[in-house]
Amino acid sequence: MSDNILKLILAKDPDEKEYHQAVKEFLETVKPVLERNPEYRQLGVLERVTEPERTITFRVPWMDDERQVRVNRGFRIEMNSAIGPFKGGLRFHPSVNNSILKFLAFEQVFKNALTTLPMGGAQGGSDFEPKGKSEDEVMRFCQSFMTELSRHIGQDTDIPDGGLGVGAREIGYLFGMYKKQRNEFTGVLTGKGLQWGGSYIRPQATGYGVGYFAAEMMAARNDSLAGKTCLISGSGNVAQHAAEKIIELGGNVLTFSDSSGYIYDPEGIDKAKLAFVKRLKNIKRGRIQEYIDKYSDTTYTESDSSLDYNPLWTHRADCAFPCAMENEIRENDAYNLINNGIKMVCEGADMPSSPEAIKIFMDKPILFAPGKAANAGGVAVSGLEMAQNRMLLNWSAEEVDQRLRTIMKSIHRTCLDVAEEYGEPGNYLAGANIAGFVRVVNAMLDQGLV
């Protein structure tokens, strides 16, 4: 059944390689569910979950500081609303296209299901590059983007969130425009500022959740993060807060990167050094290379796209936390990690390991956590932000953090239990995919053919 679906998807949209990759990985792991439920074929379950409920594409015209008109493309993929209104991030990056957003939306459906909160799955964004743009340009772009997007979203229909290239600044400009156009102050976006409807811990939630999930995986093997050396890629929202939690739990973080290169600090990145990185990236909007000007006993290695491996993953370490981009760990990187003693790979980004890399990890006795489980803390706290908005109140940081920790523990337990139930003990990838799939499919079937 699953091979036919892949053929169908390839024939319909032959160029969507990231989407094919996500669906293929998914189908391989949910085979046991399909075998137990042969009626799914006649019910068209796979055809339905792999086809977005709605795809919106639009023009985003804006004017740069030289008064030159620029045009970008905006998207919103509303993938599945079986268990709640569409919910998922926005990404602003030059690589954004239908395939990347479809893979993100597909992953989001099952990630959201794992949180057990009532949220369907979606993703959106634009091929706009915020890096190097002035504040005014970013604001004008966000306003133009929201002018169209506002027709399609709402607190009961589709609630976008931040994501790669879309942080607190962008959410502010997007929210301001939505409010002006619709004349309503509602929880239509998450990741809002604390003074205007945001939730404590939302900025930290994805990275903290990654740390909690990693700690749970270690605990399941009677181990902990204390004293473990950790390689982290990226230096954005997820990377920074994963590092913060890992440091708090006693881990020793050695690396950060951006698209230009990476730094390696053999002494470890402590709280003070992390505070420097946060200021550098979030306020100054600088490059990670500047780290070595401040901390001289460190090295900086420039990115080199001609290499078929990333030198960041060649350092000896116990744990790897890819927190930048999809497919950033390729086959050679996986071999390098394994050969350098890695015990755990915990994905902070969405689909950062290529299929070849995943296969290598699965063949070894290491812990491997897929992003859709390990990074679900962000959308979980976004769900909590929606709940607080509905009640017109704010929970304390401690309360939200406690709820986040409980949700991550429960996702971890679900992955293990479901993997065991379907004959794949210890396989977090299978556990996450099957648990999310079962919840979404059951809801779809309950609601009839819609």
Query: Closest CB to ligand NDP among 82 and 324?
Result: 324
Does residue 123 sit in helix, strand or coil? strand
CB-facing half-sphere around the CA of 270: CA atoms within 13 A: 3
Site for ligand NDP in 350-389 (CB under 6 A): 350, 375, 378
Residue 336 CA to residue 239 CA, distance in Å, equals 21
- Count of residues of this chain found to bind ligand NDP when the rule CB under 6 A is applied: 25
Output the smallest distance, CB 282 to ligand NDP, in A. 9
Name the one range near ligand NDP by CB under 6 A: 79-87, 144-152, 214-222, 237-245: 237-245
Q: For residue 274, which of 294, 301, 299, 304 has the smallest C-alpha distance?
A: 294
DSSP 8-state code for residue 127:
S
**Tokens 């045009």 correspond to what residue?**
71
Residue 106 CA to residue 19 CA, distance in Å, equals 8
Query: Closest CB to ligand NDP among 40 and 262?
Result: 262
Site for ligand NDP in 285-344 (CB under 6 A): 323-325
Is there binding between residue 99 and ligand NDP (CB under 6 A)? no
Residue 90 CA to residue 162 CA, distance in Å, equals 5
Query: Closest CB to ligand NDP among 120 and 234?
Result: 234
Output the smallest distance, CB 42 to ligand NDP, in A. 35
- At a CB cut-off of 8 Å and minimum separation 6, what does 450 contact? none
- Residue from the set 88, 121, 160, 234 that interacts with ligand NDP by CB under 6 A: 234
Is there binding between residue 197 and ligand NDP (CB under 6 A)? no
Number of residue whose CB is nearest ligand NDP: 236
Query: Closest CB to ligand NDP among 52 and 348?
Result: 348
Is there binding between residue 115 and ligand NDP (CB under 6 A)? no
Does residue 365 sit in helix, strand or coil? coil
Output the smallest distance, CB 86 to ligand NDP, in A. 16
Query: Closest CB to ligand NDP among 29 and 190?
Result: 190
Output the smallest distance, CB 363 to ligand NDP, in A. 25
Is there binding between residue 172 and ligand NDP (CB under 6 A)? no
Site for ligand NDP in 200-229 (CB under 6 A): 206
Residue 291's CB is within 10 A of a number of other CB atoms, namely: 22
- At a CB cut-off of 8 Å and minimum separation 6, what does 368 contact? 344, 345, 353, 358, 361, 362, 428, 429
Is there binding between residue 346 and ligand NDP (CB under 6 A)? no
Is there binding between residue 279 and ligand NDP (CB under 6 A)? no
Reading phi first (left if > 0) and then psi (alpha if -120 to 50, else beta), residue 10 is in alpha
CB-facing half-sphere around the CA of 438: CA atoms within 13 A: 22
- Contact (CB, 8 A) for 104 and 112: no
Query: Closest CB to ligand NDP among 309 and 445?
Result: 309
> For ligand NDP, what does the binding mask look like between residues 247 and 276, x meaning CB under 6 A?
----------xxxx----------------
Distances (CA, A) of 266 to 164, 211, 287, 296: 28, 21, 20, 11
Is there binding between residue 122 and ligand NDP (CB under 6 A)? no
Site for ligand NDP in 148-167 (CB under 6 A): 162-165, 167
Query: Closest CB to ligand NDP among 105 and 444?
Result: 105
Q: For residue 115, which of 448, 419, 409 has the smallest C-alpha distance?
A: 409
Residue 340 CA to residue 318 CA, distance in Å, equals 8
Does residue 307 sit in helix, strand or coil? coil
Residue 207 CA to residue 204 CA, distance in Å, equals 6
Query: Which two structure tokens, joined as six digits, stand for 251?
Result: 């881990």
Torsion (CA) 351, 355, 356, 362 in degrees, nearest 10: 90
Is there binding between residue 108 and ligand NDP (CB under 6 A)? no
Site for ligand NDP in 386-415 (CB under 6 A): none
Name the one range near ligand NDP by CB under 6 A: 71-79, 231-239, 334-342, 361-369: 231-239
Query: Closest CB to ligand NDP among 238 and 444?
Result: 238
Query: Closest CB to ligand NDP among 104 and 342?
Result: 104
Output the smallest distance, CB 238 to ligand NDP, in A. 4
Contacts with ligand NDP by CB under 6 A lie at: 131, 162-165, 167, 206, 234-239, 257-260, 323-325, 348-350, 375, 378
